[in-house]
A and B are shown apart, each in its own frame.
Chain A
Amino acid sequence: MTLKKSFALALSNLVFDKMRSLLTMLGIIIGVAAVIILISLMDGMMGLMNDEFAKLGTDTINVSLTDRGGSRTVDDNDMYKFVSDNPEYLKAVSPTVTIPNATVKTTDCDLTTNVSGVDEQYYSMKLLETENGRFLQFSDVEKKLKVCVIGTYIEKELFGRGKGLGQSFKINGKTFKVIGVLTEEGDSESGGEDEIIYIPYTTAVSMSKTSFIGAYTMQAADADNVDNTVARIKQYLDNKIGDSDYYNVTSVKQVMDMASTMTGTMETLLVCIAGISLLVGGIGIMNIMLVSVTERTREIGIRKSLGAKCRDIKSQFVIEAATVSGVGGMIGILVGSVLSVVFGKMLDLNAVPSFTAIAVSFGVSVAIGIMFGYLPAKNAANLNPIDALRHE
């Protein structure tokens, strides 16, 4: 029997008994589609998280310090020197002095927000962009000028969009001039990336109760070498301060790693669920295959009486099972891919059906289909022809 004819026969079988074919394929369709949807949504979510982290800067390292007093302390000059001494590890550093819950006032508006004191390097470190004006410069920092760069939310609240540049307002009673407005990141809403005020860190220090700078933002020279860089910083601080209780070094990458461990666990869980649905689909396929072979024992008897050998019977059933599973699998891929994209749109994720998910789910369900098409057919093919013929 030629392969072409076998497939034609298998297809006509498929069409002949539509209900049974549909039931057989349903298991595969659901199994394959479920796996593809779950995996692609998961991938989409991971992608979204990675994007968010990338925005924070994967090469960013945060150092926080506690003042120990005496000589066992680190100030901004020590930090600048450390960074310039270690160009193979670090590219830039900016002290980060936060004035929490600062009162921000114009004549007819006031609000409470956090103000960040940074230096000019912060701009390139965080990949900031200004919409109008410029970012802080070295001279602003050096001269402790009362200038600021604001986010679009602040601009909108205080002055109205596009009207902020060159205006003045008060932060905790001191008057600051707006020298730049950052590009809108979100939608200029409160609490987002647009609610931000940057001032020179030197100015911020002079406005705080203490002159000690407790936080630095650093940029690693190589994003792939963050772990070693963190170690190098820790080594330096340990030398200077001598007690690890007084400093803490964290990197976005560490947070990211932690998050990806978590999402990894979640992915494992989802893969398990997908696997279960595939298994259930497989059992569905198995049942229908078993029933259909039992049902068709008489046909097997007829074929044997006409001279079909065991392998003819087996190959017929395997090809039939492969055709049913294959067609079901294709429909499953189609349904899964379409639904992935639809669900992705609904959840605001970029859910692209992954090749691995498609390959694995299709492979597994077709393999189950063929296996359970083959096994009962093998038994039926080995029946005495007369017993198969008499089967009702």
Chain B
Amino acid sequence: MTDTPIRDSGAETPLIEFENIYKIYIMGDSEVHALDGISMKIYKGEFVAIVGQSGSGKSTCMNIIGCLDVPTRGRYFLRGTDVSTMVDDEQAEIRNKELGFIFQQYNLIPKISVKQNVELPLMYAGLSEKEQEQRALEALDRVGLKDKANNMPQQLSGGQQQRVSIARALAGDPSIILADEPTGALDSKTGKEVLNFLKQLHRDGNTIVLITHDNTIAAQAERVIRIQDGRITYDGEPDINKFATLAHAGDEEADNNDA
């Protein structure tokens, strides 16, 4: 391995490549390994679900993929570029250009309109106001909320708000759409709609990384990466039978969350 940030592998460069990633928190005297040496590759056009119970390290994993957090050790290549050593503002640019986030809590800014929310990543990308507006409206059109463009976020239902956040994630035309428990705050019907929408996006050629604790949701993906205690315990087809025993644990957690 060389120290150059650009990797030149003969085959197709993975979109996401984790190389022995550790995330270690110091809690008093003890070290907590949230991620304990994870290596994985995700290629363009994949629909990957990262699944695990709470505390398994899946959220930390997603934070590192999303450049929201930095690993303690190891290297993370995004499109062949080492982003784990980047400074804050460089990571901001990566988040802006390469990543589209869909959060469980939607994370819309309440005091600006739906359209302005969708425009945010475009604004930070430095697009002209006209282009911002045009692309925001296009993105809202894709999620079927063009008519709500001038509403405030609170005026929309949960499902609609999540669709706005999807539009926001899409607007910047990112390489990866990162969805963190996108259905977590929604009822099952709307959750299903959102999930179908993600599938649609995948069919349109987007790379999607879905983080969830719910095996049935994970099963909708093309590929499942199961994380437990900071390590990858499964990586492959979403064969529900192969982790049927574990599915129960996930359901239980879902029940707890509802309570």
Q: Residues of A at under 8 Å CB distance from B?
A: 1-2, 5, 9, 12-13, 16-17, 298-299, 301-312, 382, 384-386, 389
Check B121–A389 contact: CB distance below 8 A. no
Which 8 pairs, one residue from A and one from B, show the smallest C-beta to C-beta distance?
A: A307-B96, A16-B111, A307-B124, A386-B68, A306-B121, A309-B89, A385-B68, A309-B92
Chain A interface SS verdict (over half): helix
Check A9–B112 contact: CB distance below 8 A. yes
Chain B residue contacts of A306, Cβ below 8 A: 95-96, 101, 120-121, 124, 168, 172
Map CB proximity to A onto B70-106 as digits: 1 under 8 Å, 0 otherwise.
Answer: 1000000000000000001100110111000100000
B66 interfacial by beta-carbon distance below 8 Å? yes
B20 interfacial by beta-carbon distance below 8 Å? no
A–B complex contacts, Cβ < 8 Å, 25 sampled:
A5-B123, A5-B129, A9-B112, A9-B116, A12-B112, A13-B111, A298-B107, A301-B107, A305-B95, A305-B101, A306-B120, A306-B121, A306-B168, A307-B95, A307-B96, A307-B121, A308-B92, A308-B120, A309-B92, A309-B93, A311-B89, A384-B68, A384-B69, A384-B70, A385-B68
Check A312–B124 contact: CB distance below 8 A. yes
B125 interfacial by beta-carbon distance below 8 Å? yes
Provided the pairs A382-B88, A384-B69, A386-B63 are in contact, do residues A307 and B112 lie with their beta carbons within 8 angstroms?
Answer: no
- Of residues 117 through 146 on chain B, the ones whose CB sits less than 8 Å from some CB of chain A are 120-121, 123-125, 129
B211 → chain A closest CB, angstroms = 13
Q: A302-B108, A308-B120 are known contacts; what are 19 more A-B pairs with Cβ within 8 Å?
A: A1-B124, A5-B123, A9-B116, A12-B111, A299-B109, A303-B120, A305-B107, A306-B95, A306-B101, A306-B121, A306-B172, A307-B124, A308-B92, A309-B93, A382-B88, A384-B70, A385-B95, A386-B68, A389-B107
Chain B residue contacts of A17, Cβ below 8 A: 111
Chain B residue contacts of A1, Cβ below 8 A: 123-124
Check A307–B111 contact: CB distance below 8 A. no
Of the candidates A5, A302, A307, A312, the one whose C-beta lies within 8 Å of that of B109 is A302
Interface size on B, residues (CB 8 A): 27
Q: Residues of B at under 8 Å CB distance from A?
A: 63, 66, 68-70, 88-89, 92-93, 95-97, 101, 107-109, 111-112, 116, 120-121, 123-125, 129, 168, 172
**Measured CA separation A311–B89 after assembly (Å):** 9
Check A389–B68 contact: CB distance below 8 A. yes
**Measured CA separation A9–B109 after assembly (Å):** 12
Provided the pairs A302-B107, A305-B101, A307-B93 are in contact, do residues A2 and B121 lie with their beta carbons within 8 angstroms?
Answer: no
Q: Which residue of B lies closest to A312 (CB)?
A: B124
Q: Which residue of A lies closest to B67 (CB)?
A: A385
B26 → chain A closest CB, angstroms = 15
**Measured CA separation A12–B68 after assembly (Å):** 28
Chain B residue contacts of A302, Cβ below 8 A: 107-109
B132 → chain A closest CB, angstroms = 9
A302 → chain B closest CB, angstroms = 5
Chain A residue contacts of B116, Cβ below 8 A: 9
**Measured CA separation A128–B192 after assembly (Å):** 99
**Measured CA separation A303–B111 after assembly (Å):** 13
**Measured CA separation A5–B130 after assembly (Å):** 12
Chain A residue contacts of B88, Cβ below 8 A: 309-310, 382
Chain A residue contacts of B112, Cβ below 8 A: 9, 12
Check B69–A386 contact: CB distance below 8 A. yes
**Measured CA separation A113–B92 after assembly (Å):** 90
Chain A residue contacts of B68, Cβ below 8 A: 304-305, 384-386, 389
Check B92–A307 contact: CB distance below 8 A. yes
A5 → chain B closest CB, angstroms = 7
Chain A residue contacts of B172, Cβ below 8 A: 306-307
**Measured CA separation A289–B64 after assembly (Å):** 32
A332 → chain B closest CB, angstroms = 25
Residue of A5, A13, A312, A386 with most chain B CB atoms under a 10 A cut-off: A386
A379 → chain B closest CB, angstroms = 13
**Measured CA separation A303–B125 after assembly (Å):** 12
**Measured CA separation A312–B93 after assembly (Å):** 12
**Measured CA separation A116–B30 after assembly (Å):** 102
**Measured CA separation A382–B89 after assembly (Å):** 10
B169 → chain A closest CB, angstroms = 9
Check A310–B121 contact: CB distance below 8 A. no
